[in-house]
Amino acid sequence: MVPICSWRSSVGKIFSVLLICLLGFFVYSDTFQHFFQFDDEFFITSNPAIRDITNLRAMWDMLSQPSRFVVFYSFALNHHVHGMDVFGYHLTNFVIHLVTAVLVWWLVRMLNRLRTSGVRKSEPPRFVYGSIVALFAALIFVAHPVQTQAVTYITQRFASLATLFYLLSLCFYIKGRLGRQGTVLCFIGAAIASVLGMFCKEIVITLPLMILLVEVFFFEGQKRFRKFIVAPVGLFFLIIPAVFSFRFLGILSGVRSSASHDIEMITFGPYILTQFRVLATFFRLFFVPLGQNFDYDFPLSHHLFEWPVLLSFMALLSVFLLALKLKRRHRLIAFGLLWFLLTLTPNFVPRRHVIFEHKLYLPLVGLSLALCMGMFSVFKDKRKCMAALSIIVVLFSFLAYKRNQVWKNGVTLWGDVVKKSPDKLRGHLNLGIGYLREGKYDAAEKHLNKVLDRCAYFLRHNMNEDLKRERLPEYYFKAYYGRGLVYERRGQYDLALEEFNKTLKIKSNYTKAYVSRAGIYDRQGRYDLAFEDYRKVNVNLKEAYNNRGIFYEKKGQYDAALSDYREALNIDPQYAEVYGNRGIAYSQKKQYAQALADYDKALSIDPSLKEVYFNRSLFYKSQGNFRRAYRDAQKAKSLDYPVKDGYLNGIKEKF
C-alpha cells in the first residue's frame, strides 16, 4: 500500500502543476491570434533560413554567429508545421513559459529542501512551508505582467527558451548533487541543458557562476566536491565567449547608435552608467509593474553623480549588501536577491538597445523567490501570508491579461509606445505602418510625416555624422516607403512612384519598394519597367513572389509564374491567394485537376476570396459543369464581386 503522506504529497504536486498551468492559460488565453510584431519579420516571416528544417547551415550562420541556433531551429519547426499561421508560434511560446514556470516551482522546492534538510549544519531547520513558497513563486513568475514581452512577443523565445534550459540545468545539477538516485544521469542532463541554453541566448553565460553560488549557499559542509567541479564549470563558462571568438575588446569598446534614444551614440562608459538606472527600473517594475513600455525612450547617462544614476547605484548596492546581511538568517531571500543581480550582469555588455523588458524574464525567478520567502518571514500567521500572496498573484494576473491586449496588433502596440515615448521616431514609424495595414490612411500619413519631419530636423541641426550615416537612412527609407503605400492605396500612383523612387535612392536593394513600384508600372501598362523591377528583386517575401507570378501570368509566361507561386508557398504554405492565382495558371496550361485542387485549397483556407469563387465558376463552366459554375458565381456575387446577371442567366439556362 502507498503511505498516506506519500499519496498526499503526490496529489499536492499534481495540484500545484495544474494550478500553475491554469493560471498561465488565463493570463495568455487571448494572445494566440495576436499578430507578428517588430523583429518577428526579420527572424520569422521574412527569414529564408527557417524555411527548410534540413538546412542547418543557414540557421547556424544567422546573425554571423551560432549563439541562437536552437531557437532558430524551433522557428524552423514551427514554420514546417504551421507555415505562417501565428497560432502555432504563440502556442509554442506559451508551452515554453508553462514549462519554465513548473521548473521554477521544482527549483524552489529543492532549494527549500536543502534549506531544511541539514545539508548546511550552521543553523537549525525552521521553515516548514517550502511547498507553498515554491507554488507562489511559480505563480508569480507565470502571471507577472513584465513576462508578457518574453511570451507574447514571439521573437523573444530567445529569452524564454534560454531560461527554460538554464533552470533545467540547475535543477538537474542540484538533484545530482544530492546524490540520491541517477546522479550521473542528472549531471549529464545538466550539461546538455546548459549547452542548449547557451545556444539560445547569451544570458546563460551566468549559469556556471550560479552553480557556484548554489554551492556556497547550500552545500557549505561539502567543500571537498567543489574542487572537482571548478574545471568543468570553467569550461562551460568559456563556451559563449568562444562562440564570439573572444572578441571582448571589440564588443566592449565599439561605438554604436542607440536604439533606445534617438540621436545618441553608445560608448562603454555612458552605457555602464545607464545600466544602473536600467536595473533599478527592472527592480521597480517587479514590485510596481505600471507604465510598461515595449520601446522605452531611455537617454544615456554620462556622470556617476547625476541624481538618477547615483540613486540607482545606491539602491542596487543596498540590495547587494542586504543579501549579504541576510545570508545566514534568511538564506533563500539572500539567494533570490543575488540571483536577480547576477543574472542581469550580461546587461553590462554594450548593445544598441539599452533596455527591454524581456531581459527581466530570468532575473524574475530570483525576485519571485525573495518576495515569497520575505513575506513568510514577515507574517507570523501562515494563512494571512497566503492570503496576501494570493492577492498579489490575482493583481499581477489581471495586469498581465490587460497588458497582453496591447500586443493585439500594430496599432495597439505602437499606439501604446507613442503615448509613452512620444518623441521616438520608431514608435511613429511603426504606428504609421500599423494604421496603413488597417486601411486608416490619413492616420498613417500623419505619423509617417512626423517621422520625416523629425529626420529633417535632425539633419538641419548638425547631428553626429555617424548617426546621419547609420540611423536616419533607416527611418527615412521606411517612412518614404510607407507613405508610398498610402498613396498607392488611395490610387495616387504618380505620388506613390515618387515615394518609392526616394526609398530606392536611399536603400537601393529594398525588395519591397521594387515590388510595389513594379505593381504600379504594371497597372499603368508600363510592362518593360515592371519587368526590370521584378528582375532586380532579391525576393525573400511571399508577396514578392506572388506579385511577380501574377505579372508573368499576364505575359503568358505560365511556367515562370508557377515557379514563383511555388516559392511563395514554400515561405507560407497557408497563403490562400497564391493557391487561387496558381489555379488560374494551371487552367491556362490545361492542367485541370491541379487547377481545381488549388481553387479548393484557396477557399478552404480563406472562404472570403470572392475572386477565387468566380474563377472556379469559370473553370466549372469550361468543363461543362454548369450547376456548380452557377453556385460559385452566386457565392462570388454575394461577396460583392461584380458578377453580371447575363453571365448568371446564361449558365442557368444550360442546366
- Ranges of each domain in the chain: 10-46+85-406, 413-591, 607-655
Task: Give me the pLDDT at residue 86, please.
Answer: 92
The whole-chain average pLDDT of the chain stands at 87
How many distinct helices (H) and strands (E) make up the chain? Answer: 33, 2
Block residue for cell numbers 454575394: 638
**Contacts of 215 by beta carbon, 8 Å cutoff, 6+ apart:** 225, 226, 229
Query: DSSP assignment, residue 345?
Result: G
Q: Residue 95 is inside which H or E element, if any?
A: helix 86-116
Task: Tell me the C-alpha distance between 474 and 184, whole Å.
Answer: 52
Q: How confident is the model at residue 82 (pLDDT cuts 50, 70, 90)?
A: confident
Q: How confident is the model at residue 60 (pLDDT cuts 50, 70, 90)?
A: confident
* C-alpha cell recorded at residue 95: 508551452
Higher pLDDT, 460 or 423: 423
- Average pLDDT score over residue span 516-521: 91
Task: Tell me the C-alpha distance between 564 and 581, whole Å.
Answer: 11
AA identity, residue 90 = H
Question: Phi and psi dihedrals of 125, rounded to 5?
Answer: -70, 125
Burial class of residue 484 (count of CB atoms within 10 Å of its CB; 0-12, 13-18, 19+): buried
| Residue 106: Cβ within 10 Å count | 21
- pLDDT, tens digit (0-9, with 9 covering 90-100), for 279-310: 999 999 999 999 999 999 999 999 998 999 99
Q: How confident is the model at residue 275 (pLDDT cuts 50, 70, 90)?
A: very high
This model's pTM is above 0.85: yes
pLDDT over 90, % of the chain: 53
Spatial contact of 172 and 165, defined as CB atoms under 8 Å apart: no
Lowest mean pLDDT among 425-439, 449-463, 512-526: 449-463
Task: Give me the pLDDT at residue 644, please.
Answer: 83
Task: Tell me the C-alpha distance between 80 and 513, whole Å.
Answer: 28
Q: Residue 106 is inside which H or E element, if any?
A: helix 86-116
Task: Give me the pLDDT at residue 122, please.
Answer: 44
- pLDDT, tens digit (0-9, with 9 covering 90-100), for 625-640: 888 988 988 898 888 8
Higher pLDDT, 184 or 366: 366
**Contacts of 336 by beta carbon, 8 Å cutoff, 6+ apart:** 366, 367, 368, 369, 370, 371, 373
Task: Tell me the C-alpha distance between 302 and 296, whole Å.
Answer: 18
pLDDT over 70, % of the chain: 88
Residue 169 has pLDDT above 80, yes or no: yes
Task: Tell me the C-alpha distance between 550 and 164, whole Å.
Answer: 45
* C-alpha cell recorded at residue 302: 554620462
Task: Tell me the C-alpha distance between 623 and 632, whole Å.
Answer: 14
Question: Phi and psi dihedrals of 103, rounded to 5?
Answer: -65, -35
Burial 212-233 (b: 16+ CB within 10 A, else e): bebbebbbeeeeeeeeebeeeb
* C-alpha cell recorded at residue 249: 575588446
Q: How far is CA 303 from the centre of its chain?
A: 34
Question: Phi and psi dihedrals of 381, rounded to 5?
Answer: -90, 115
Helices (H), 327-424: 331-343, 363-378, 382-406, 410-420
Spatial contact of 583 and 595, defined as CB atoms under 8 Å apart: yes
User: What is the third-level CATH fold of 413-591?
Assistant: 1.25.40
Residue 577 has pLDDT above 60, yes or no: yes
Spatial contact of 86 and 41, defined as CB atoms under 8 Å apart: no
**DSSP characters for 274-291?**
HHHHHHHHHHHHHHS--S
Nearest to 497 by CA among 471, 472, 534, 522: 522
Segments of 110-239 assigned E as strands:
none
Task: Tell me the C-alpha distance between 33 and 84, whole Å.
Answer: 12
Task: Give me the pLDDT at residue 539, please.
Answer: 61
Block residue for cell numbers 492570503: 387
- Average pLDDT score over residue span 252-256: 76
- Average pLDDT score over residue span 505-521: 89
Task: Tell me the C-alpha distance between 142 and 101, whole Å.
Answer: 6
Q: How confident is the model at residue 127 (pLDDT cuts 50, 70, 90)?
A: very low
- Rg value, the chain, Cα: 29
| Residue 593: Cβ within 10 Å count | 8
Task: Tell me the C-alpha distance between 282 and 356, whole Å.
Answer: 9
Nearest to 200 by CA among 39, 54, 72: 72
* C-alpha cell recorded at residue 321: 549588501
* C-alpha cell recorded at residue 558: 505560365
- Average pLDDT score over residue span 20-37: 94
Q: How far is CA 446 from the centre of its chain?
A: 28
